[in-house]
Amino acid sequence: MRERQQRLTAIKRVIRNEKIESQEQLLYFLEQEGFRVTQATLSRDLKLLRVGKQAQETGESYYALPTEETRRERELGYVEDFRRGYVSLDYSPPLAVVRTLTGHADSVAIAIDNLNISAVLGTVAGDDTVFVALREGTSRESFLATLRERVPDLEE
């Protein structure tokens, strides 16, 4: 896991400092820094980092990290997905159980996963229920307070 974090940090550094136009070019720079990865692993890393292509005036494109504005817009979309499907929240340590409208559990789970709530280890979605695995020691109140920071006007 430590190597992965170091590799992700190196990817971000290379993308910030160079105009990377292809995965092959990025693989080359990573090799120069001592990281030997497959194209498939690099693709997963780029997806995880939400790296996208930025168009140049010449018509070519290069990799770019998401901007703060892009991150905020994406987060607003997750908040709307959560609100659209959310019905109620119950808590039984170490789980929070979110009830959703039928068929909305997947989008609510994806929203929770992407709202960067440090207490959340992960989610499992059914059809109208999301089980949220919480870090040890997370109280109902602290989880709810953090969730309300991300989703204002949340009702229990």
The string of pLDDT tens digits covering residues 96-122 is 999 999 999 999 999 999 898 989 999
Report the candidate in 133, 75, 83 with the shortest Cα–Cα distance to residue 108. 83
Nearest alpha-carbon partner for 11 in 63, 74, 70: 63
DSSP string across 53-78: EEE-TTS-EEEEPPPHHHHHHHHHHH
Give residue for tokens 């930025």. 54
**Predicted pLDDT of residue 105:** 97
70-150 folds as Gyrase A; domain 2 (3.30.1360)
Mean pLDDT, to the nearest integer, of 117-136?
Answer: 95
pLDDT given at position 1: 56
Residue with tokens 């998401």: 66
Matching fold, domains 2-64 and 70-150: no
Question: Computed from CA positions of residues 45, 48, 49, 51, in that sequence, does the dihedral angle turn out positive or negative?
Answer: positive
Domain assignments of the chain as residue spans, ordered by start: 2-64, 70-150
The 10s digit of each residue's pLDDT in 8-63 is 999 999 999 999 999 999 999 999 999 999 999 999 999 888 898 988 778 889 99
Q: Give the chain's count of helices (H) and strands (E).
A: 6, 6
Residue 84 has which token pair? 């659209």
pTM: predicted TM-score of the whole model, two decimal places: 0.65
Q: Do residues 129 and 100 lie in contact, with contact meaning Cβ atoms separated by under 8 Å?
A: yes
* The CATH number, out of the four listed (1.10.3720.10, 3.20.20.140, 3.90.1170.40, 1.10.10.10), of the domain defined by the range 2-64: 1.10.10.10
Mean residue pLDDT of the chain comes to 91
